[in-house]
Chain A
Amino acid sequence: MTTVDASVRAGIGTSPRRPDGTLKVKGEFAFSSDLWHEDMLWGATLRSPYPRARIRGIDLTAALALPGVHAVLTQRDVPGAKRYGLEIVDQPVLAIDEVRYQGEPVAIVAADHPETARRAAGHIAVDYLELPPVTDPEAGELLRRVPVRTGDPHATADVVVTGEYQVGMQDQAFLGPESGLAVPAEDGGVDLYVATQWLHVDRKQVAACLGLPEEKVRLSLAGVGGAFGAREDLSMQVHASLLALHTRRPVKMVYGREESFYGHVHRHPATLRYEHGATRAGDLVYVRARIVLDGGAYASSSTAVAANAATLGVGPYEVPNVDMEASVYYTNNPPCGAMRGFGAVQACFAYESQMDKLAAALGMTPVEVRIRNAMTAGSRMPTGQVVDGPAPVAALLARVRARPAPPPSTLDSRELPGGVSNTTHGEGVVRGVGYAIGIKNVAFSEGFDDYSTARVRLELIAGEPAVLVHTAAAEVGQGLVTVQAQIARTELGVERVTVATADTSVGSAGSSSASRQTYVTGGAVRAACQAVRATLLARVGGADLMGDKIVNAAGMVVADLAEALGDGPVEETVRWRHRPTYPIDPETGQGDAHVQYAFAAHRATVDVDVELGLVKVVEIATAQDVGKAVNPLAVVGQIQGGTAQGLGLALMEEVQVVDGVVRNPSFTDYLIPTILDVPPMAVDVLEMADPHAPYGLRGVGEPPTISSTPAIVAAVRAATGKALGRVPIRPEHITA
């Protein structure tokens, strides 16, 4: 048996400073939009102004004639696969004879100045024949329907509540725009420096489109300015590479903010129709639900989003009879895909709104009805999967309920609805409190081979033991670089740890999504460290590593660590998997689809100016079970950041699409919460170890985004008495 050295400084359970933090505060961290190369050109993209049109012809003459233009390319110039996609290969690299959404790339340009490239794109003459767009998902082509059925489909109950809910299209709104640099290589391949969530899935798609073997497409992670799901799909990767290979010059592409709104997928808008039945005592008897998701023009990760909505669609409750269906459709609206919470967000808004309705019908409090029906360890999901780790649903609700209420607001206008607009001095302001809890699966589901690879090297540098950790896992801001080093310190007892830049010279780490990286890449780093330790011990006939001493089975020191490394470094590469998941039955949704479940509960307190419909969130309290807080400061950071994104969906964030056209593609018109909008956020972190996970940890990133939205809406309902079946809430929904 080996011991883990818990005493090493800056190991797991501590909050060492981020290794990239100093560069970031000094403005010296190289983000993907900061890259520069001698002799580089700038790329630009011509996008469709129409949500649906046939392309009758493209004339490049005027664009090519502009001084400074080096290439103008269309789909004819794509040497390999003309389409790509995460799950279904359906999205053209550049439009082929038709466009299916506003903003679809049609042609690309390389020029010696970004403005020249943009102007050249404007000189491309495209002859479009506009066609009527399909904008109602239920009139669109079905992409996937996921039924989940258990128990009696015709069950009846004494108390029945129904509701129809709508969720608007949310944008991830990361701050660092899509960008990167493609450098043509002497071997005919390309070196691509890019901000992404998953280097290897990018490489696979880019290589296929370029018609190159994967080894000739080498990706390195450039600094990532946030992700939140929006970097799962390709954006400029193939385009920049095509231009670089065509011009034999390095090509940089940087989207502006407006282009960024067209350059990535959004959260699926949803319509959710629910019926809950319960006994008079308050026990849930059945849930029947139909969820309709607008997938937009291309599949992206829609099929998995629908599966999440369906399998998690009744929430963290025990429900004996479930008849659930989530369906996602193709339309000519912007493509939708991954965003933090991934299908669970939409469902949670509906089922938590229903739980409040049920509480009101039963004469119970919102927390009482939730605790009464809360799932626990050993509960069975509607898919039949047994929740075999801790499920402290009742405890999380009790935690947020027990927090002291925030004090009444002062009459400082900065603390009132409307803020410094000075719209009230307190008159017409009503306080409300709301609760919600959500459930999220961690890591990839439905039988996906979801692994990560870590290479760990232990060696002497200047006579001191040092560790190099190399994975392809994308640091997107969450703090994965810190966590990888913490794990190596804990496992090897060596303080000096460097995490190498993520690139494709090591095996895939899987995606920085689904709250999975600390679990899966963390698991891989731990496993690789354990392999290094075993090799090292075998080298000197030791049984254990105790600090900087190697001891035998009797506890006698057989070598110093430095001595043992004198024969050379020890390096091991390990591909690590979480336990397997399984597909769900296409008719019944039955199956052990998910790896792990995670839970967060919120209590929101709001002040509403009921005359003007303005909402000031006064406080949000969160309780979340994280299994093990590997880095407590980063855990709280994830919880607060995620909670704020849920606040945005509740009150302000929506990509407004009219007849397939985006009306607000800017930060002037698409509003994300500012520091004036986000209230103090108290956080309770529970650490109930999951016996199946490394260190007992549980994915952290997504759960806080899921339940903050319904908690805030519940609080606004409590203040106003309005039904509020749609998010984001607009002032006119309150004053109507």
Chain B
Amino acid sequence: MRVNCTVNGEKRQADDVWPGESLLYVLRERLGLPGSKNACEQGECGSCTVYLDGTPVCSCLVAAGQAEGRDVVTVEGLEFGRVQEAFLEAGAVQCGFCTPGLVVAVHDLLARNDKPSDPDIREALAGNLCRCTGYEKILDAVRLAAR
């Protein structure tokens, strides 16, 4: 099948999509946007988080066809700003596999709540697994970005 959607502000079209493919697969393998990551492909780790019509979702849980006609923003489409800067400055990046999903999730958190408390941050990021950092530096990054 063919899927049309807007990705990072551009109209995109993917052809020969097998109906079982996820939005994550289409982004990574058909549209040349591998920034969203494939860690669990089961909606548990948040590494594939993208905006779908402005709402953060696990793109692994969105069937490709569900993206038809909709607006997708991936980590590659976010303007480089205080969130990404703060991750670098705070040492919140180690292997970096969770980072794209976290950057999107933090971008969304700060858009909703520009002065989150620590419990707010923890609740907002509870769906993003990180295996390297123990999360302390990620909390530091969010606090820094919110400053």
**What secondary structure prevails in chain A residues at the interface with B?**
loop
**B92 vs chain A, min Cβ distance (A):** 9
Inter-chain contact A640/B131, CB cutoff 8 Å: no
**What secondary structure prevails in chain B residues at the interface with A?**
loop
**B54 vs chain A, min Cβ distance (A):** 19
Inter-chain contact A177/B35, CB cutoff 8 Å: no
How many A-B Cβ pairs are below 8 Å? 180
Inter-chain contact A24/B74, CB cutoff 8 Å: no
Bound-state Cα–Cα, A636 to B41, Å: 30
> Does A29 count as interface, using CB distance less than 8 angstroms?
yes
Known: A28-B76, A175-B98, A666-B40. A633 touches B91 (CB 8 A): yes
Q: Contact mask B69-98 → A, CB, 8 Å, 1/0?
A: 000001110001001100111010111111
From A228, A643, A676, B131 is in contact (CB under 8 Å) with: A228
Inter-chain contact B20/A415, CB cutoff 8 Å: no
Neighbouring A residues of B123 by C-beta, 8 Å: 414, 420, 676
B83, B84, B135 interface centre (most CB from chain A within 10 Å): B135
Neighbouring A residues of B47 by C-beta, 8 Å: 175
**A376 vs chain B, min Cβ distance (A):** 30
Known: A113-B18, A477-B94, A643-B134. A27 touches B35 (CB 8 A): yes
Inter-chain contact A31/B40, CB cutoff 8 Å: no
Inter-chain contact B44/A174, CB cutoff 8 Å: no
Inter-chain contact B44/A414, CB cutoff 8 Å: no
From A17, A173, A412, B88 is in contact (CB under 8 Å) with: A17
Neighbouring B residues of A555 by C-beta, 8 Å: none
> Does A152 count as interface, using CB distance less than 8 angstroms?
no
From A25, A476, A667, A673, B99 is in contact (CB under 8 Å) with: A25
> Does B100 count as interface, using CB distance less than 8 angstroms?
yes
Inter-chain contact A644/B134, CB cutoff 8 Å: yes
B87, B96, B100, B130 interface centre (most CB from chain A within 10 Å): B96
Inter-chain contact A27/B40, CB cutoff 8 Å: no
Neighbouring B residues of A633 by C-beta, 8 Å: 91, 137
Known: A15-B91, A34-B34, A175-B131. A24 touches B96 (CB 8 A): yes
From B42, B122, B127, B133, A668 is in contact (CB under 8 Å) with: B42
> Does B136 count as interface, using CB distance less than 8 angstroms?
yes
Inter-chain contact B94/A27, CB cutoff 8 Å: no
Inter-chain contact B88/A22, CB cutoff 8 Å: yes
Bound-state Cα–Cα, A681 to B87, Å: 18
> Does B59 count as interface, using CB distance less than 8 angstroms?
no
Inter-chain contact B93/A34, CB cutoff 8 Å: no
Known: A26-B84, A28-B76. A637 touches B137 (CB 8 A): yes
Q: Which of B106-147 contact A (CB under 8 A)?
A: 119, 121-123, 125-139
B95, B97, B123, B132 interface centre (most CB from chain A within 10 Å): B95
Neighbouring B residues of A668 by C-beta, 8 Å: 42, 44
Inter-chain contact B131/A257, CB cutoff 8 Å: no
Neighbouring B residues of A624 by C-beta, 8 Å: none
> Does B39 count as interface, using CB distance less than 8 angstroms?
yes
Known: A675-B126, A681-B136. A28 touches B35 (CB 8 A): yes
Neighbouring B residues of A453 by C-beta, 8 Å: none
Inter-chain contact A175/B91, CB cutoff 8 Å: no
Inter-chain contact B128/A675, CB cutoff 8 Å: yes
Inter-chain contact B74/A27, CB cutoff 8 Å: yes
Inter-chain contact A175/B39, CB cutoff 8 Å: yes
Closest-by-CB residue of B relative to A254 is B38
Bound-state Cα–Cα, A174 to B94, Å: 12
Q: Which of B13-48 contact A (CB under 8 A)?
A: 18, 20-21, 28-29, 32-42, 44-45, 47
From A27, A223, A637, B132 is in contact (CB under 8 Å) with: A637
Bound-state Cα–Cα, A22 to B135, Å: 19
**A629 vs chain B, min Cβ distance (A):** 13
Inter-chain contact A667/B129, CB cutoff 8 Å: yes
Neighbouring B residues of A224 by C-beta, 8 Å: 95
Q: Which of A1-59 contact B (CB under 8 A)?
A: 15, 17-18, 20-22, 24-31, 33-34, 36
Neighbouring A residues of B130 by C-beta, 8 Å: 175, 675
> Does A634 count as interface, using CB distance less than 8 angstroms?
yes
Bound-state Cα–Cα, A254 to B24, Å: 14
Inter-chain contact A26/B35, CB cutoff 8 Å: yes
Bound-state Cα–Cα, A36 to B131, Å: 26
Inter-chain contact B134/A225, CB cutoff 8 Å: no
Inter-chain contact B97/A25, CB cutoff 8 Å: no
B76, B97, B98 interface centre (most CB from chain A within 10 Å): B97
Inter-chain contact B41/A634, CB cutoff 8 Å: no
Known: A15-B91, A681-B136. A175 touches B103 (CB 8 A): no
Closest-by-CB residue of A relative to B137 is A637
A22, A176, A227 interface centre (most CB from chain B within 10 Å): A176
Neighbouring A residues of B83 by C-beta, 8 Å: 25
Bound-state Cα–Cα, A408 to B125, Å: 24
Q: Contact mask A161-200 → B, CB, 8 Å, 1/0?
A: 0000000000011111100000000000000000000000
Neighbouring B residues of A583 by C-beta, 8 Å: none
Neighbouring B residues of A175 by C-beta, 8 Å: 37, 39, 45, 47, 95, 97-98, 129-131
**A681 vs chain B, min Cβ distance (A):** 5
**B61 vs chain A, min Cβ distance (A):** 12
Neighbouring B residues of A25 by C-beta, 8 Å: 80, 83-84, 87-88, 93, 96, 99-100, 103
Inter-chain contact A477/B95, CB cutoff 8 Å: yes
Bound-state Cα–Cα, A292 to B96, Å: 36
Inter-chain contact B95/A174, CB cutoff 8 Å: yes
**B81 vs chain A, min Cβ distance (A):** 10
Bound-state Cα–Cα, A477 to B93, Å: 8
Known: A21-B93, A173-B131, A636-B91. A412 touches B119 (CB 8 A): yes
From B29, B91, B131, A637 is in contact (CB under 8 Å) with: B91
**B8 vs chain A, min Cβ distance (A):** 11
**B107 vs chain A, min Cβ distance (A):** 11
Binding site for A on B (CB under 8 A): 18, 20-21, 28-29, 32-42, 44-45, 47, 74-76, 80, 83-84, 87-89, 91, 93-100, 103, 119, 121-123, 125-139
Apart from A175-B98, A640-B136, list 5 A-B contacts with CB within 8 A. Answer: A18-B88, A26-B84, A226-B94, A414-B123, A637-B137
Shortest beta-carbon contacts, A-B, top 10:
A27-B35, A477-B95, A24-B96, A225-B97, A644-B134, A27-B75, A640-B134, A34-B34, A667-B44, A477-B94
